[in-house]
Amino acid sequence: MQVITTVQKMQEIAQTLKQSKEKVGFVPTMGYLHEGHTTLMDEARTNNDVVITSIFVNPLQFGPNEDFDKYPRDEARDQQIAEKHGVDYLFLPNVEEMYPRLSGISMDVTSRVDVLCGKSRPGHFAGVVTVLTKLFHLTQPDHVYFGSKDAQQVAVVDQLIKDLNFPVSLHVVPTVREEDGLAKSSRNVYLSTQERAEAPALFQSLSLAQQKMFDGEKNPAIIVNEVKNYIQSHTSGMIDYVELLTFPTLELVAEIDQDVIVAVAVQFEKARLIDNVIISTDGSIDNVVL
């Protein structure tokens, strides 16, 4: 595995790969790698000639009161994990390399962002699409891999690729979970012992929503209230949101007559956890294909 730290070197490698017509899979991350990330790498490794992974904690997607400085980092460990999972090139730039000057061009996202995490994090997805646009240009992948846990991000990336005509295919990999159902996340390390014991209730509440739909419930309000009540009864966390929306357009729906996402966010003392399930009209869990 080759570690790349400069934009220029990454561009040179990407151009060489493009000329050789090798199929390139790209996995963008913010590091502190866990099984969710490595599942994406394994999927990319299986289906491409070359795998590029980036590790970059992007300051543009953190708000003024968010955890950019506290975001967990362990580059040495991450390099070992990436190499073990077949990554050919690890792009590991610092902030000055990615943003060497004040940009004269800004990006904005005007749909799929006024709900879920985007509602309480103004500017977050503008930061996401800015860094992804740079990374797509730098790595020139044929295929890019994201996890369905960050479903709103997946929806925004889908729109970014389509609206700006990036010649890249988006692949969405199912959420990787602990044995008790908790979605894998770099932020799980911040949970106290009690909070860690409570955290599986997020997925349990989503499973309850799925069961309600499977049993024929079509009223979104009833399902949302069931999920809220379950979380409030089984955790000490504060609910940020529970929403049921169409997917991937992320619009409100009066009656469930199409694929929907049920998504939750819960704030514990030092960690904000998100989770979701995407459910077909018959109540089955839907594998995301965009």
Asked if 279 and 262 count as a contact pair (C-beta separation under 8 A), the reply is yes
Tell me if residue 37 is catalytic.
yes
121 is in an annotated binding site: no
Domains of the chain, CATH where assigned: 2-173 (3.40.50.620), 186-279 (3.30.1300.10)
Question: Is 95 labeled as ligand-binding?
Answer: no
pLDDT in tens, 40-93: 999 999 999 999 999 999 999 988 777 787 788 889 999 999 999 999 999 999
Q: List, for residues 197-245, the tens digit of each pLDDT value.
A: 999 999 999 999 999 999 999 999 999 999 999 999 999 999 999 999 9
Task: Give me the amino acid identity at 49.
Answer: D
Is 33 annotated to bind a ligand? Reply is: yes
- Give the tens place of pLDDT for each residue, 232-286: 999 999 999 999 999 999 999 999 999 999 999 999 999 999 999 999 887 777 6
Q: Which whole-number Å values give the CA distances from 180 to 92, 163, 176, 202, 212, in the listed order?
A: 33, 39, 11, 11, 21
Dihedral class, residue 166 (left if φ above 0, else alpha if ψ from -120 to 50, else beta): beta
Q: With cut-offs at 50, 70 and 90, classify the pLDDT of residue 288.
A: low
Q: Is 30 annotated as a binding residue?
A: yes
Q: Is the peptide bond preceding residue 248 cis, with omega within 30 degrees of 0?
A: yes
Is 86 assigned a ligand-binding role in the annotation?
Answer: no
Q: Is 186 annotated as a binding residue?
A: yes
CA–CA gap between residue 206 and residue 91 (Å, rounded): 36
Whether the full predicted model's pTM is greater than 0.75, yes or no, is yes
Q: Are 144 and 170 in contact (CB under 8 A)?
A: yes
Q: Which of 136, 55, 39 is nearest to 89 (CA)?
A: 55
Pick the catalytic residue: 37, 85, 124, 143?
37
**Which H or E run contains 210?**
helix 201-214
